[in-house]
Chains A and B, each alone.
Chain A
Amino acid sequence: MAKKNAYDLAASSRRSWKTELRRDWVVYLLFVPIIVYEVVLHYLPMFGIVMAFQDYNVTDGYFHSPWVGFKHFIDLFSGEDFLQAIRNTVVIGVLRATIGFVAPIIFALMLSLINSKKFKRTAQTMSYMPNFVAAVIVCSLFTQFLAKDGPLTLFLTKVFGAENQNWFANDKPPVFWIIYTLMGIWQGVGWGSIMYVAAISQVSGDLHEAAALDGATRLQRMFKITLPNIMPMILMMFVINVGTALAAGYDNILLLYMPSTYSVSDTVYTYTYRQAFGGGASNYSLSAASGLFKSVVSTILLVGSNALSRKAAGSSLF
């Protein structure tokens, strides 16, 4: 039987794609909508990248707008606003990929230590809820709480003696970054922990039992058994996180920032948005150049972190 299975595998690897298609056509058919979706909504729009190298205007379209080479990239990098936006994007991205990334893991590990199933379920459900609240409401809530007369501001002032101020209007470097990172954690910690909770539940109970018999404490079991077992999952999520660190979640900033705090809150995403749809004339080409730069950097980060993960831990996403 075992021999037959081995033979089957070898035969399968030798089978041509036509044979595969003939045999598993139903499976491939199911995959067609996904391919169409990807091609239509993700690959075809990539053609719009040409805007970054054109003096694009809507009337002339992609095919008749004049080509200007790297003019818009030169404009981008010669303006202080874009460089400032890159700095803010990198800082916020690093904070999200570190503190923001670790928080769901810690939360999942904490949940794994809870014995009461009822409490665990309640805590989990409550932690998911902020993820389903619309960004506008979340931002509005934080704006209210951190306004000059907001309850959180008053608490910080009265208990810690912090200056009474609108915290979102503070343009000193770490303030906005920290608030934004904490806001992201509050909103995403529960949802982000789902994968880890699932991975932890797959860890064999025998290992824990054996370790417990050998006298390992709960904390030791967590570090010596749970964490190593879910490490592949952590690394995979890390790779994804790094790849999307420059792109995801910045729409909230549009709702929170103001001209007086652009120096700390303006990111490549918001800069791109402002250039395309801001108050003055729309500069689609400059916006496309900015977006292309962001995508290239994100791709490099994704491939780089994947390679690093493969080299360091022997586990990678692709």
Chain B
Amino acid sequence: MSLRVKWIALMCAVVVMLVGMQLYYGNLGNAGGQSASPETTFDWWIYSGTSSEYYGNYSENPAIQYTLRRGWGPEEKGIALNFLQPPPGSEADNYSTMLASGDLPDIIDAVICDPPQVMVEKGYAIELTDYVEAYMPNYKALVHSNNEIYMNTVVVDDAGTEHYYNLATVYEGYDTVFQGFMYRRDWIVKYGQNPVTGAPFTGGYTDPDDVDSWVDDVVFPSGGTDPIYISDWEWMFEIFTRAQADLGIAGKYCMSLYYPGFTWSGGLLSCFGGGVNVWYQDAENKVHFGGYEDPFKTYLECMHAWYQKGWLDHDFNQRTSDAFYQIDSTSVRQGMIGMWNGQQSELGGRLDMHDGGYTEGIFVAGAPYPINDIYGPESCRNVEPNCVMGKGLTSGGILITPKAADKDLAALCSYIDYFYTTEGALIRTLGLSAEQQADFTENTFYADHGLHSGAYHIGEDGRYRKDDVLVHDSGQLNTAVGFNKAPGLQLVDSVDLGYAATYQASLDTWMRYPNTGFFQGSRTTNAMTQQDTKTAQDIHSKALEYMTKNCANFITGKSNFGKDWDKWCTVLKKYKVDSITELYQYYVDHYPFR
């Protein structure tokens, strides 16, 4: 082959490659936006897409394609959506790079960003008040229908003017959380005794094939059927220890902890009369720094006592790569642990491997956060937890960036507003109805996945019930059929998820105490100025670094509650945490979130 022929062949190969790449990526970028005549395309950065099992790009979502078939806004113009999805695992890096480079999309999923007001101040987002007023009557009505929703979505300035900085997702009611403490109730039945009569407990599955069909006569020392107090937990731990000894489970523990020795959002720590390890507000709306207060010390004393008794995982602070709701999940899934912080999918008999191992006959029940009735001074006892993981009536939603300012925002806002109507809320929460699917024959996604009469139907009680295919799906089909990345009304109370009574009871225990003290990420901190946010974050980071490094030592006994505790308090005060307490107090007073 001559040199010239080689050159021509090489050039042809390069051209083919370039054309191929253009076609491929061009297709990826414009996979969505199937409106009849799209006139404006909006780039929408979403924190995460959906499982690639269903589609490669989120714009292939059937609910999106259905809603984009018509025009939006006063002139009923078509719009198209181009979703930008960061590679899984690098979402935060992708977000930081996007902001640092100034290469903004039109819409940002407000999952990990600064408070909306700060984002507007920084120039990453635009104020939306005029658009809400003009094109979003449903959103505005919903926001004004409930005081909590209003407080967390609208910023009112000193002149009394309302400002909308983001378009939040609004919940119909308080939704259940996906994780919480849970314990092996079957061990309580098998190895425990009635604390009053001393009689052994009885219980078991009524239907061997139904993982939720559990009944028993378990009574806790506090008199109820759920473990409410720390004393109930300790009573359980003694039973778990007996169970592990009887089953020959060596070197294990009753419960583990997140590796620093606490969780950022309170949780177990807030069961000792205080809130979180950093700033929280009490019942009188007074802001505290929890890190050097009695409740935190009492919490650590309790954990230290559990550690000494062998109830607490001795290797907890080595499990740095475990998520706090998946600590030592191997031991949990092997049925060796009595209590843990887990997810919905571990409730009931779902962990039973049916292999004759430790999970044989397992029944996992949810436990509420316990109330301390044993440790510390009186002020730390018998106080309900106030900083617990729970969902409010609003969540992040989206921000619109300056890049979209010159685009047809009237059409976009009208489109988004649709998802605050009942019809739109059903599409974003559940998916298409049977009628909508029938009207959308050009898309076969539903039929391809076994859905032949829509994603839901209306039950006898008037509530919406998901199709059985979705109820029994163990993958992510539920999220693939609706448009839950869009802000809108999230239906909660009007949806019957078809949960069994025992399963629902477990979910309810996690919602037993409302969050009244943890104000991070709420309207309170959302109202903070950019400078105040930075000042608070700088000191927060320093304090958190110190606590993360040293807290576990109090639990393991390397540090004592005398001189070492005094040093701990001194160091934290040296970081000027009290100045931030005063700063937060100003915002709590002016922008309460509850």
Contacts and interface: CB of A to CB of B under 8 A. Distances in A.
Interface of A: 57-59, 81, 148, 166, 168-169, 258-260, 262, 274, 277-283
The 7 tightest CB contacts between A and B, nearest first, are: A280-B541, A281-B537, A258-B320, A59-B122, A169-B318, A259-B549, A259-B548
Contacts of A274: 545
Chain A interface mostly helix, strand, loop or mixed? Answer: loop
B328 to A, nearest CB: 12
Given A58-B100, A279-B544, A281-B538, 12 more contacts: A58-B122, A258-B259, A259-B548, A260-B318, A260-B553, A262-B549, A277-B96, A278-B541, A280-B545, A281-B537, A283-B538, A283-B541
A58 B260 CA distance: 30
B444 to A, nearest CB: 40
B526 interface: no
Interface residues of B, number: 26
B99 interface: yes
Contacts of B537: 280-281
Given A58-B99, A281-B540, A259 B315 contact: no
Contacts of A279: 541, 544, 548
14 contacts: A59-B124, A169-B315, A169-B317, A258-B318, A259-B317, A259-B549, A259-B552, A260-B553, A262-B549, A277-B93, A280-B545, A281-B534, A281-B537, A282-B96
B122 to A, nearest CB: 4
B123 interface: yes
Nearest to B553: A260
A281 B541 contact: yes
A280 B315 contact: no
Nearest to B260: A259
Contacts of A278: 541, 545
Contacts of B553: 260
Contacts of A81: 545
Contacts of B552: 259-260
A169 B259 CA distance: 12
A166 B317 CA distance: 11
A260 B317 CA distance: 7
A58 B97 CA distance: 10
A57 B124 CA distance: 13
B318 A280 contact: no
Nearest to A60: B122
A283 B260 CA distance: 22
Given A81-B545, A259-B259, A59 B317 contact: no
A67 to B, nearest CB: 16
Contacts of B260: 259
Contacts of A148: 315
Contacts of A59: 122-124, 530
Nearest to A75: B542
A69 B469 CA distance: 63
B315 to A, nearest CB: 7
A40 B320 CA distance: 38
A280 B549 contact: no
B541 to A, nearest CB: 3
A216 B96 CA distance: 64
Nearest to B541: A280
Interface in B304-318: 315, 317-318
B534 A258 contact: no
Interface string B114-126: 0000000011100
B393 to A, nearest CB: 27
Interface string B250-280: 0000000001100000000000000000000
A304 B540 CA distance: 40
Nearest to B531: A57
A58 B553 CA distance: 37
Contacts of B96: 277, 282
Contacts of A280: 537, 540-542, 544-545
Contacts of A281: 534, 537-538, 540-541
Residue among A258, A274, A283 with most chain B CB within 10 A: A258
Given A59-B122, A281-B538, A281-B541, A258 B317 contact: yes
Contacts of A166: 315, 318
A217 B236 CA distance: 74
Contacts of A262: 549
A58 B99 CA distance: 8
B209 to A, nearest CB: 36
A201 B85 CA distance: 53
A277 B99 CA distance: 14
A57 B534 contact: yes
A168 B318 CA distance: 9
A258 B551 CA distance: 13
A281 B530 CA distance: 13
A290 to B, nearest CB: 14
Nearest to A279: B544
Nearest to A262: B549
A278 B544 CA distance: 11
Contacts of B122: 57-59
Contacts of A282: 96
Contacts of B542: 280
Contact of B320 (A57, A58, A259, A277): A259
Interface string B536-567: 01101110110011001100000000000000
A260 B315 CA distance: 11
A281 B93 CA distance: 14
Contacts of B315: 148, 166, 169
A48 to B, nearest CB: 11
A59 B96 CA distance: 12
Residue among B93, B538, B541 with most chain A CB within 10 A: B541
A59 to B, nearest CB: 4
Nearest to B264: A279
Interface in B506-531: 530
A279 B112 CA distance: 12
Nearest to A164: B251
A57 B123 CA distance: 12
Interface string B204-241: 00000000000000000000000000000000000000
Contacts of B317: 169, 258-260
Contacts of A259: 259-260, 317, 320, 548-549, 552
Nearest to A81: B545
Interface string B59-93: 00000000000000000000000000000000001
Residue among A59, A169, A262, A283 with most chain B CB within 10 A: A59
